[in-house]
Amino acid sequence: QSVLTQPPSVSGALGQRVTISCTGSASNIGAGYDLNWYQQLPGAAPKLLFFGFNNRASGVPARFSASKSGASASLAITGLQTEDEADYYCQSHDRRRGVVFGGGTKVTVL
What residue ranges bind another protein (CB under 8 A)? 2, 33-34, 36, 38, 40, 45-48, 51-52, 57, 87, 89, 91, 93, 97-104
Q: Would you say 26 or 99 has its CB closer to another protein?
A: 99
Share in percent of the chain as helix, strand, coil (round to 5): 5, 50, 45
As measured in angstroms, the least distance from the Cβ of 109 to another protein is: 21
Strands 105-109 and 9-12: parallel
Q: Would you say 33 or 65 has its CB closer to another protein?
A: 33
Q: Would you say 17 or 97 has its CB closer to another protein?
A: 97
Nearest residue to 70 (alpha-carbon basis) of 25, 20, 18: 25
